[in-house]
Amino acid sequence: MEFVNVIVDISSEQLDRVFLYRVPKVLQDRIQIGMQVQIPFGRSNRQRKGYVVGMPEEANYPLEKIKEISGIVKGSIKAESQLIALAAWMRENYGSTMNQALKTVLPVKQKTKQKQSRKLVFLLSKEEGRELLETYRKKHYQAKVRLLEALLEQGELDGKKAEEVCQVTSSVIQKMEQDGVLRVETATLYRNPFEGHFQRKTETLLLNPQQQQAVEGIWEDYQRGIRKTYLLHGVTGSGKTEVYMELIARVIRDQKQAIVLIPEIALTFQTVMRFYERFGERVSVIHSRLSDGERYDQFMRAKDGGIDVIIGPRSALFTPFPKLGMIIIDEEHESSYKSENVPRYHAREVALYRALLCRASVVLGSATPSLESYYKAEMGEYGYYELTKRVKDAKMSEVSIVDLRTELKEGNRSIFSRKLYSAMKDRMEKGQQMILFLNRRGLSGFVSCRSCGKAIRCPHCDVTLSLHNDGSLRCHYCGYEVQMPDACPSCGSRYISGFRAGTQQIEREVKRAFPKARVLRMDYDTTRTKESYEQILSAFGSREADVLVGTQMIVKGHDFPGVTLVGVLAADISLYANDYRAAERTFQLLTQAVGRAGRGDLPGEAVIQTYMPEHYSIQASSRQDYKDFYKREILYRRLMGYPPVHSMLGIYLSCASEELLEQQAQMLGSSITAEQMEGLTIIGPAEAALAKKNDIYRKVIYLKHKQKKKLLQIKDKLEKKMEQESVWQKVYVQFDFDPLNSY
C-alpha cells in the first residue's frame, strides 16, 4: 500500500483529525492498519508517533505535498493497535465511517475534570446503624441497605469503590449524608476500602462431571495453542458461571486477562460479588451509570495491568487489556448485545474477531442459544458443551397449554382461562406466590374504533398511542400526548374503546377475582428508575405480595423460591411481531417464564394461554426442549433464506422530505437490481415498521444472499456512490447486517 491515513492522538476527542502520508517502498509490504508509525509532523517536521487507521487506494491531495512516514515503531503490537484494527474491521463489516468505528472502540479521554477521590465516613454507632438498617430493609431501600451494610462493616469507604461495588448512585450517598448517616470527605490518601469486606474464597467448589468436561475440554485446547469459540449450553442454575470462573482462574495463572460480558439487566450485585470473592481486587465492573471519565479510568487500569478481569455489558468488549486470553459472553442470545447505533455491530461477532487478533478463546453461554450460535456448533465450527441439569436438582415445572379459542367458545370471556383461574385460587388458599406474565407494556395498548376499525395514532411517529390510567393517550416514542376523545377522530362514532389486556388491566382483574390478593406490577411505567425496579423485586422476594404481574423484565434471571405458579396470559403476542425472529424470541421468553416456577422446595406449575397452541415455539418451550425448537426453526430459516442460513442486509433510509426519500429509495433499489447479482433477493423498498419518527420519514430495503461477502460488496459500492452524489447528504442511510429489531 502506498498511502496511509494516520491519527496522532488517539486519546483525544478529535479522532477525525486524520493525516495522509506516503509509505516508502521498503515498508509497503509490512504496513498494516493499527501499526504505530513514526512521522514528521507539522511545519517544523518534528518527529511524532501516530497510528495507521486507513489505507486509501489513491491520494486526494497534491502528491508533492504528501510527506513520507519515517518508520514503523518497533516492539510488540499494543492493545491500541488491535483495537484500531478491530475498528477497521467493524467499519468494513457493518458500514460506518472510520471515525464512528474508532469512537466506538477507543476509550476517549473527555476534557472533563477528573473527579477527586472521596472517602465516606460512617457517623453512627453500630447500634444506631443496625436500627437504621432494619428501617431501610422494611422500606426496601435496597441501595441504602447495601451501602449501610458495607459502612457498618468497614467504618470508612472509598466513594468511587462504594458506588461500584454496592451499586449505589451518588444521589443515594448524598441523601444519606443529608440524613447524617455519613460524611463525604475528599480523601488525599486512600487505602483499599473493600479489603476484608468480602471473604476471598480460597477453596473452590468441586465441579460436577459435566462442568469438568467443559473446563477440561476447553483448557486442553487452550494449552495446545488452539483458540476457538465454544458454546456452553445449560439451563439457568446449571453451573455455567462456575465454569467461567474456573477458566478465568486458569487464564490468569497463564498471565493473561479475561473479559466477561453480561447483559446490563443481569448485572446484579450477587453476580459481581461472586467474581470479587473469587478474584478479589483484580476485578473491575463497567456499567451504564459510570461517567465517561470513570469508564476511561477503568480502561486505563486494564491497560496498565491493574486488573485481570472486567465484567460489563457490550462496551466492556473494548477493554484494552495487553494480553487478552479469553472472552466470555453470558446469555449470548440477548438482543442487547447488538448495537442500535452506527456501526450496528453485534458484540458476539466482534468478540470473535477481537479474539482472533489477540489469540484468545471465546466462550458463549446460554440456556436458549441464538440460532446463529447453535447453527455454528452444529456445523462443527464452535465447540459444544452441555450442562443438562440444575446443580441444586430442583425439578422442572409441570406445564399445560390452554387454547383460548375453546375458552371463548365455551363462554369464558375473562382474561383468565378456567385452568389458570383454578390454579390461582389454589395458590391463594395455600398462601403461595405466583407470577403473571404479559409481553406488552402500558395500560391497554391501542384505542380503536369498532365502527371504522381505525386505531388512534401518533401524528409524528405513526405508531398507535397507548391509553393510560389518567385518561391520556401517549406516544411511547416521542412522548406526544392527547386526551382520550369521546368519539372516533376519523368517523365520529362513539364506539371506541381500549384494547384489553395490558399489565394494569391484569392487575385490576386479579384484584376483582381475588379481592384479598396483594398485587405488585412491574412494567416499563413502574420501573423508570433502577431503584423502583429493585424495590419491586425485593418486596416480592420477601413475600410482601402474592401476585407479580409484569412484562418480559420479570422473567429474566430472578430467583423467587416462593413462586409455584407462572401464568402466561397470551403467549402469542410476541409471535405477532413483524420480523423473522418472532418465533425465536417467543421461545426464549416462554422458556424463561416457565423456568421461573418451582425454584424452591415446592414443585412448580406453569399455564400458557394461547390462540395458537399448535405453534412449535409454544409446544417446544412447554417441554423446555431447545433442540426440537431449533430443528423446526432452522428449517423455516433455510426455506425462507433468513439468517443464520443466509445473510441479510437491512438498508435503512431516512429523510425529512417524503418525495425525495421515495425517489432515492426507488433509485437505490433499481441500481441494486441492475447489478443482476446471482442468488440475490431484494425486498422493498418499503415503508419502515416505524414509517415516520419525529417528523422524519423512513424506508427500508432488505437484501438476502447465501454469502455475506456478496452483501458486503454491495454495501461497499453503495458507500462509494453515497460519497460521490451530494443528494445523499439529505437522505441518511444506515446499514444493518442480520438485523435483530425492525427499523
> How far apart are CB 340 and Zn ion at their closest, in Å?
18
Q: How many residues lie near Zn ion (CB under 5 A)?
A: 14
State how far the Cα of 625 lies from the Cα of 595, in Å rounded to an integer: 12
CB-wise, 446 or 477, nearer to Zn ion?
Answer: 477
In terms of Cα–Cα distance, which of 740, 743, 742, 738 is closest to 647? Answer: 738
Q: Is 656 in the site for Zn ion (CB under 5 A)?
A: no
- Sign of the four-CA dihedral 77, 83, 84, 89: positive
> How far apart are CB 480 and Zn ion at their closest, in Å?
4
CB-wise, 280 or 293, nearer to ligand ADP?
Answer: 280
Taking CB under 5 A as the criterion, which residues in 435-474 touch Zn ion? Answer: 449, 451-452, 458, 460-461
State how far the Cα of 538 lies from the Cα of 269, in Å rounded to an integer: 13
Q: Which member of 488, 554, 575, 712 binds Zn ion (CB under 5 A)?
A: 488
Taking CB under 6 A as the criterion, which residues in 238-267 touch ligand ADP? Answer: 238-242
Taking CB under 5 A as the criterion, which residues in 116-175 touch Zn ion? Answer: none
In terms of Cα–Cα distance, which of 125, 119, 118 is closest to 180? Answer: 125
**The one segment of 34-42, 191-199, 200-208, 413-421 that binds ligand ADP by CB under 6 A:** 200-208
In terms of Cα–Cα distance, which of 43, 9, 38 is closest to 21? Answer: 38
> How far apart are CB 342 and Zn ion at their closest, in Å?
22
CB-wise, 192 or 497, nearer to Zn ion?
Answer: 497
CB-wise, 94 or 244, nearer to ligand ADP?
Answer: 244
State how far the Cα of 442 lies from the Cα of 470, in Å rounded to an integer: 12
Give 385's strand partners: 232
CB-wise, 363 or 438, nearer to ligand ADP?
Answer: 363
Which DSSP category does 17 fall into?
-
Number of helices and strands (H, E) in the chain? 21, 31
Q: Is 476 in the site for Zn ion (CB under 5 A)?
A: no
Q: Is 691 in the site for Zn ion (CB under 5 A)?
A: no
Burial class (CB within 10 angstroms; exposed 0-12, middle 13-18, buried 19+) of 582: middle
Give 474's strand partners: 466, 481
Q: Of Zn ion, ligand ADP, none, which one sits near residue 261, judging by CB under 5 to 8 A according to partner kind?
A: none
Q: Where are the beta strands (DSSP E) in 210-333?
A: 229-234, 257-261, 283-285, 309-312, 324-330
Taking CB under 6 A as the criterion, which residues in 224-243 touch ligand ADP? Answer: 234, 236-242
Q: Which member of 30, 112, 115, 205 binds ligand ADP (CB under 6 A)?
A: 205
CB-wise, 66 or 691, nearer to Zn ion?
Answer: 691
Q: Which residues of 229-265 are buried (b: 16+ CB within 10 A; e: fewer)?
A: bbbbbbbbbbbbbbbbbbbbbbbbeeebbbbbbbbeb
Angle between helices 209-223 and 240-253 (to 10 degrees): 30
CB-wise, 107 or 557, nearer to ligand ADP?
Answer: 557
Q: Is 689 in the site for Zn ion (CB under 5 A)?
A: no
In terms of Cα–Cα distance, which of 244, 217, 385 is closest to 309? Answer: 244
Q: Which member of 211, 526, 586, 734 binds ligand ADP (CB under 6 A)?
A: 211
Q: Is 357 in the site for Zn ion (CB under 5 A)?
A: no
Q: Of Zn ion, ligand ADP, none, which one sits near residue 488, judging by CB under 5 to 8 A according to partner kind?
A: Zn ion
Angle between helices 658-674 and 708-724 (to 10 degrees): 130
Cα-to-chain-centroid distance, residue 328:
14
> How far apart are CB 236 and ligand ADP at their closest, in Å?
5
> How far apart are CB 230 and ligand ADP at their closest, in Å?
15
* Contact track, ligand ADP, 383-402, x by CB under 6 A: --------xx----------
CB-wise, 236 or 319, nearer to ligand ADP?
Answer: 236
State how far the Cα of 658 lies from the Cα of 691, in Å rounded to an integer: 10
* Contact track, Zn ion, 489-518, x by CB under 5 A: -xx-x-------------------------
Q: Which residues bind ligand ADP (CB under 6 A)?
A: 205-208, 211, 234, 236-242, 391-392
Q: Which residues bind Zn ion (CB under 5 A)?
A: 449, 451-452, 458, 460-461, 475, 477-478, 480, 488, 490-491, 493
